A and B are shown apart, each in its own frame.
Chain A
């Protein structure tokens, strides 16, 4: 595997930003009650991380170290505003559902973390790959959570009433109210971490 492919695939598995680095938990609890907003959020974060990584990597030699965080924030906020405008223009209802959490991408630890840890000291192309990888690693967990929570919490998938079509309500099945709440998202993240660690020896602490 080439170095750049590894930059994309590593965050999907053994260096996942959510389950291994435990970053970006707040938004992953808040927006995953349904699949659609989770997907849009995953996409938005991927775009922001990838592009901000790219831009900062281009600028990295010209940024004075003492004000680098402010410069990074300016770049990230500009991108987040752009993403927000695009969401409002094309998927207004989802943008409404995500509410403040689109704006809060600015404070997402994954974005700042990648800029500080990777983009400040690597070439643009590698930084772009790293950004895409981390965005997707974040996104894949969001989509798993959104899938489980929407399916068992609301009985739908992407708005399609799947449980009703399967006729489960007629035999006494009911939606689980706890799955919709944020605590259950945290427990689900915990279960994903549990499964991942028990199948991957490298991740287990001694």
Chain B
């Protein structure tokens, strides 16, 4: 237990009156990152779970890993087929790893720097929420996103999306989606279109090869060139790590088995998207409407948003009944925006952000309805 001893040795420096008193929250963050804290609640009634917020976040990170690893391979794979290179499996993976690494590093460094700064200024603990957001952000942007733009988006998301409201647990919008929305509206040429999804090989000076995502093709009035099976496995151009539905479903299983994400939210999103998809199939006024409804589950960020972003415990609805309504409307709006809106190819991001705003209202109505129902019952009994 060398590390434990070392931490105990330097601990007095960071406590009240110590040399580095100002850096207390920084120290605390690293200590509790390494070891489960042994402090206990002293007053009032409380229930303690075996896992605290840090362990919860680590499980989400583990659930993200399949999508992340597949995404890295797919980056290399897409470059390899578009540029006519003959990458092997490991070569593709290595190429993608080198492309993803700067994005992840920038996202964590910028985000954690701001988190630590705010924790120091306000004198509270460093919140671990960014552990997940910081990994999700590079996973949902195109691989060619310039690093300074990503840094700006992360800073915007952490400050405006989270810290102004009081930090982790107080934000009403999902920070990762705030970052993506910031990029999407600030630098649209880097976030959509046909030329952003495929990374150039190293030392390549020629023109970039373009590759359209299924959503992009449908938007332009073509049919998708990828088959449903390709989209299910994820060997299509798209944002870095959200192409593979299978990898995302593995993550979903981890989240559901450990009970961290809500199955109600996930299921209701699928139902909402499916019903609107079927409705459009029935109308069939144009080609896009006639796209089989299950395609919507496979294309773009639907699966990723459904599993990892809509289920965010902070920004989703809290009541069980509220989760059904919240999820259903996310699915419905996502498909609606995709098919009907002429400006935005992908609707999942906007749908989740919209419903994030309405989640407190939904909860309020559900709680109020419950109180009314019980009041009526009490009156009847009396």
Residues in B with CB closer than 8 Å to A18 are none
Chain B binding surface SS class: helix
Whether B186 lies near A176 (C-beta < 8 A) is yes
For the complex of A and B, list the 7 residue pairs with the smallest distance between their C-beta atoms, beginning with the closest. Answer: A178-B186, A178-B185, A176-B186, A177-B186, A177-B185, A177-B188, A174-B187
Residues in B with CB closer than 8 Å to A179 are 186
Q: How many whole Å from B304's CB to the nearest CB in chain A?
A: 23
Q: Which of B146, B148, B185 has its CB near the most chain A CB atoms (within 10 A)?
A: B185
Query: How many positions in chain B have a CB within 8 Å of any CB in the partner chain?
Result: 11
Tell me, yes or no, whether A78 is within 8 Å of chain B by CB: no
Tell me, yes or no, whether B97 is within 8 Å of chain A by CB: no
Chain B proximity mask over A133-177: 1 for CB below 8 Å, otherwise 0: 000000000000000000000000000000000000000101011
Residues in B with CB closer than 8 Å to A176 are 186-187
Residues in B with CB closer than 8 Å to A181 are 185
Residues in A with CB closer than 8 Å to B185 are 177-178, 181
Q: Which residue of A lies closest to B185 (CB)?
A: A178
Question: Bound state CA distance, A89 and B188, in angstroms?
Answer: 38
Residues in A with CB closer than 8 Å to B350 are none
Q: Which of A174, A178, A179, A181 has its CB near the most chain B CB atoms (within 10 A)?
A: A178
Give me the interface of B with A, judged by CB distance under 8 Å: 146, 148-149, 160, 164, 182, 185-188, 190
Q: Which of A172, A187, A190 contacts B148 (CB 8 A)?
A: A172
Residues in A with CB closer than 8 Å to B188 are 177
Whether B146 lies near A172 (C-beta < 8 A) is yes
A-B CB contact pairs (8 Å), 19 listed: A172-B146, A172-B148, A174-B149, A174-B187, A174-B190, A176-B186, A176-B187, A177-B185, A177-B186, A177-B187, A177-B188, A178-B182, A178-B185, A178-B186, A179-B186, A181-B185, A187-B160, A190-B164, A194-B164
Residues in A with CB closer than 8 Å to B160 are 187
Chain B proximity mask over A177-202: 1 for CB below 8 Å, otherwise 0: 11101000001001000100000000
Residues in B with CB closer than 8 Å to A174 are 149, 187, 190
Q: How many whole Å from A27's CB to the nearest CB in chain B?
A: 22
Question: Bound state CA distance, A21 and B71, in angstroms?
Answer: 50
Q: Which residue of A lies closest to B149 (CB)?
A: A174
Residues in A with CB closer than 8 Å to B190 are 174
Question: Bound state CA distance, A190 and B188, in angstroms?
Answer: 24
Residues in B with CB closer than 8 Å to A178 are 182, 185-186
Question: Bound state CA distance, A177 and B182, in angstroms?
Answer: 9
Question: Bound state CA distance, A187 and B146, in angstroms?
Answer: 24
Question: Bound state CA distance, A178 and B146, in angstroms?
Answer: 17
Q: Which residue of B lies closest to A152 (CB)?
A: B186
Q: Which residue of B lies closest to A194 (CB)?
A: B164
Question: Bound state CA distance, A174 and B190, in angstroms?
Answer: 10
Q: How many whole Å from A103's CB to the nearest CB in chain B?
A: 29
Q: Which residue of A lies closest to B189 (CB)?
A: A174
Q: Which residue of A lies closest to B147 (CB)?
A: A172
Q: How many whole Å from B69's CB to the nearest CB in chain A?
A: 30
Question: Bound state CA distance, A177 and B189, in angstroms?
Answer: 10
Question: Bound state CA distance, A176 and B148, in angstroms?
Answer: 12
Q: How many whole Å from A101's CB to the nearest CB in chain B?
A: 23
Residues in B with CB closer than 8 Å to A172 are 146, 148
Q: How many whole Å from A175's CB to the nearest CB in chain B?
A: 9
Question: Bound state CA distance, A190 and B164, in angstroms?
Answer: 10
Q: How many whole Å from B172's CB to the nearest CB in chain A?
A: 14
Residues in B with CB closer than 8 Å to A194 are 164
Question: Bound state CA distance, A176 and B190, in angstroms?
Answer: 12
Q: How many whole Å from A58's CB to the nearest CB in chain B?
A: 45
